[in-house]
């Protein structure tokens, strides 16, 4: 990782839509909290006229040098013939695990309260192989790739995560009754590996039932992990984000052996609400806190997430997406004010890089 003089450089891919404005808010909050992190900007946009390869390769080099990136979503235009850049980044950097922690925030209106579910999704293969072709007019074949190596990697990651973070149960979500080979392999590996983790409860659930259970009785997954192949993981994670308040609230981590990218959980661009001062910056703030924790800067992360939590709960600063009237800037200012107030009280510890 690029750490110079006690400071860490991270790559920032602002992306499209609300991404650029959200990262300017993250920067302000980092400055207020004296976070020892510098941003190296790597603009990657959906604009088809932009010289694609050069920008993309520069972004990859920057992330490889820094080890870590904060990312907004890059729009995927339907007419763009290339593999989506979001996907290409994840596969080039081998970011095999996507982790989304869906936890209810008191006072944020939602369909269910007191939820605490971790979603772990395989992030690089399955339906996202990008291998589609048309062998004859009117026929399309889309390849879903399942490999033992990658399934073992994600299943191992989920059980290890459960042990490390005291999650009690792993639920493997699949459709092995129909996709007997691909999902069958996923289920077989998960079922076998559970034997090595006797302290963790294990169950499997067919994806259609899991979707129904999640919206009707999500509390049954509390304290546990839902472990999923790529596409089911995307859909189920989005459902869970919806249950705890929507796309503006939840962050998502993409973790590999060497690199990590932190972004919002639902990976939307929010193009229609950009420039209007109405987007909820919470998911971006939480992504930046996830990144700080990954870098071992837990004090700074806790400081910012506490300031955010107080603004959302005690102070009730709610943007439109969660039923309030606050503007983006109201929430940003509240967070900054809370950080300043806490810094006065604590004489916030300076990071001297030792
Ligand atoms: P979108 O950007 O239109 O967002 C969906 C809804 O969530 C909208 O109503 C939006 O206003 C709201 N929203 C999103 N962020 C918000 C925030 N911070 N605060 C308040 N409201 C917020 O989503 P859509 O149409 O699904 O995707 C837009 C683009 O992103 C497309 O190009 C799509 O391909 C791409 N995308 C890529 C993904 C990937 O990982 N490759 C995943 C999802 C979308």
- Size of the chain in residues: 354
**Does the residue 349 lie in any domain?**
yes
Please report the pLDDT score of residue 221 as a whole number. 98
Q: Whose CA is nearest to atom 40 of ligand 1?
A: 267
Against a cut of 0.85, is the pTM above it?
A: yes
Q: What is the CA angle 47-48-49, rounded to 5?
A: 90
Our measurement of the distance from residue 126's CA atom to the centroid of its chain's CA atoms, rounded to an integer in Å, reads 19
**Residue 35 included in any domain:** yes
Q: How far is the centre of ligand 1, averaged over its atoms, from the C-alpha of 75 (Å)?
A: 9
Helix, strand or coil, per DSSP, at residue 93? coil
Give the pLDDT score at 5. Answer: 65
Q: Binning pLDDT at 50, 70 and 90, where does residue 313 land? A: very high
In a shared domain, residues 116 and 239: yes
- 231 with 257, same domain: the answer is no
Confidence band for 338, pLDDT divided at 50, 70 and 90: very high
Pocket test for ligand 1, best of 21, 108, 250, 268 (most atoms within 8 A of CB): 268
Mean pLDDT lowest among 45-49, 85-89, 153-157:
45-49
Token output for 82:
């290339």
Say which residue, 111 or 205, is predicted with more confidence. 205
- Looking at the fold, whether 226 and 117 belong to one and the same domain comes out as yes
Inter-residue contact 295 to 260 (CB < 8 Å)? no
Task: Summarize pLDDT for 214-248 with one digit per residue, the tens.
Answer: 999 999 999 999 999 999 999 999 999 999 999 99
Q: Are 219 and 114 in contact (CB under 8 A)?
A: yes
Residue 106: inside a domain, yes or no? no
State whether the beta carbon of 321 lies less than 6 angstroms from ligand 1.
yes
- The answer, yes or no, to whether any atom of ligand 1 lies below 6 A from the CB of 21, is no
> Do 120 and 232 reside in the same domain of the chain?
yes
State the average pLDDT over residues 40-44.
90
**349 pLDDT higher than 60:** no
Query: Region 343-352: what's the mean pLDDT?
Result: 64
Q: Are residues 141 and 211 in the same domain?
A: yes
- Provide the pLDDT for residue 198: 98
Q: How far is the CA of 58 from the centre of ligand 1 (A)?
A: 25
Both 218 and 288 in one domain: the answer is: no
Looking up residue 280, the CATH number of its domain turns out to be 3.40.718.10
Does position 179 have pLDDT exceeding 90, yes or no?
Answer: yes
Q: In the chain, pLDDT over 70 holds for what percent of residues?
A: 95
Last residue of a domain, one of 243, 262, 290: 243
DSSP labels for 95-126?
Answer: --EEEEEEE--TTS--SSSS-EEEEEEE-SSB
Q: Which of 216, 243, 270 is the last residue of a domain?
A: 243
pLDDT of the residue at 353: 45
**Torsion-angle region of 107 (φ positive above 0: left; ψ -120 to 50: alpha; else: beta):** left
**Residue-wise pLDDT tens digits, 3-17:** 666 899 999 999 999
Q: Are residues 194 and 144 in the same domain?
A: yes
Whole-number Å distance, alpha carbon 251 to ligand 1 midpoint, is 13
Does a structural domain hold residue 332?
A: yes
H or E stretch including 56?
A: helix 52-66
Check: CB of residue 12 under 8 Å from CB of residue 38: no
Task: Tell me the β-bridge partners of 173.
Answer: 205
pLDDT at 273: 97
| Number of domains comprising the chain | 2
On whether both 173 and 68 belong to a single domain, the answer is: no
**351: pLDDT confidence band, cut at 50, 70 and 90?**
very low
CA–centroid distance, residue 245 to ligand 1 (Å): 15
Same domain, 285 and 332: yes
Same domain, 95 and 50: yes
**Domain stop point among 223, 243, 263:** 243
The Cα 19–Cα 238 span in angstroms is 19
257 CB burial (10 A radius; 0-12, 13-18, 19+): exposed
The more confidently predicted of residues 58 and 5 is 58
Measured between alpha carbons, how far is 121 from 229 in angstroms, rounded to an integer?
A: 6
Which among 109, 107, 161 has a CA at the least distance from the CA of 309? Answer: 107
Average pLDDT, the chain: 94
Q: Are 259 and 63 in contact (CB under 8 A)?
A: yes
250 & 239 share domain: no
Rounded distance from Cα 320 to ligand 1 centre (Å): 16
Is 229 in contact with 122 (CB distance < 8 Å)? Answer: yes
Of 183, 174, 254, which is closest to residue 211 (Cα–Cα)?
A: 174
> Are residues 235 and 122 part of one domain?
yes
Q: Is any ligand 1 atom within 6 A of the Cβ of residue 153?
A: no
Per-residue model confidence (pLDDT) at position 58: 93
Is 119 among the domain residues?
Answer: yes
Residue 45 inside a domain? The answer is yes
Q: How many CB atoms lie within 10 A of CB 259?
A: 22
Helix (H) or strand (E) holding 226: strand 225-228
- In the chain, the percentage of residues whose pLDDT exceeds 90 is 85
Residue 211 lies in a domain: yes
Q: Is 272 in the pocket of ligand 1 (CB under 6 A)?
A: yes
Which domain, by its residues, includes 261?
Answer: 1-101+246-354
Pocket lining: 273 vs ligand 1, CB cutoff 6 Å: yes
């Amino acid at each position: 990782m690029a750490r110079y003089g006690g400071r860490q450089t991270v790559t920032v891919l602002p992306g499209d839509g609300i991404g650029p404005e959200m990262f300017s808010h993250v920067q302000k909050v980092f400055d207020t909290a004296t976070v020892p992190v510098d941003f190296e900007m790597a603009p990657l946009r959906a604009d088809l006229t932009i010289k694609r390869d050069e920008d993309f390769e520069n972004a990859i080099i920057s992330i490889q040098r820094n080890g870590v990136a904060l990312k907004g979503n890059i729009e995927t235009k339907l007419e763009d013939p290339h593999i989506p850049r979001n996907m290409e980044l994840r596969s080039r950097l081998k970011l095999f695990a996507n982790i989304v922690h869906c936890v209810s925030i008191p006072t944020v209106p939602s369909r269910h309260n007191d939820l605490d579910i971790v979603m772990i999704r395989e992030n690089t293969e399955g339906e996202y192989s990008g291998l589609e072709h048309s062998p004859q007019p009117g026929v399309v074949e889309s390849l879903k790739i399942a490999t033992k190596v990658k399934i073992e990697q994600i299943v191992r990651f989920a059980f290890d995560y459960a042990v490390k973070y005291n999650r009690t149960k792993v639920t493997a979500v699949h459709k092995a009754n129909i996709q007997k080979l691909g999902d069958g392999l996923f289920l077989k590996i998960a079922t076998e590996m559970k034997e090595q983790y006797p302290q963790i409860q294990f169950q499997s659930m067919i994806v259609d039932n899991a979707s129904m259970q999640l919206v009707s009785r999500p509390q049954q997954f509390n304290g546990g992990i839902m472990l999923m192949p790529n596409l089911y993981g995307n859909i189920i994670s989005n459902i869970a984000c919806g249950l705890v308040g929507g796309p503006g609230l939840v962050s998502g981590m993409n973790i590999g052996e060497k690199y990590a990218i932190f972004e919002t959980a639902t990976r939307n661009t929010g193009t229609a609400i950009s420039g209007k001062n109405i987007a909820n910056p919470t998911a971006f703030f939480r992504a930046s806190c996830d990144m700080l924790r990954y870098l071992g800067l837990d004090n700074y992360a806790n400081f910012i997430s506490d300031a955010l939590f107080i603004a959302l709960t005690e102070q009730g600063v709610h943007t439109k997406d969660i039923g309030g009237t606050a503007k983006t800037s109201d929430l940003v200012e509240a967070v900054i004010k809370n950080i300043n107030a806490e810094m006065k009280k604590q004489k916030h510890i300076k990071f001297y890089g030792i």
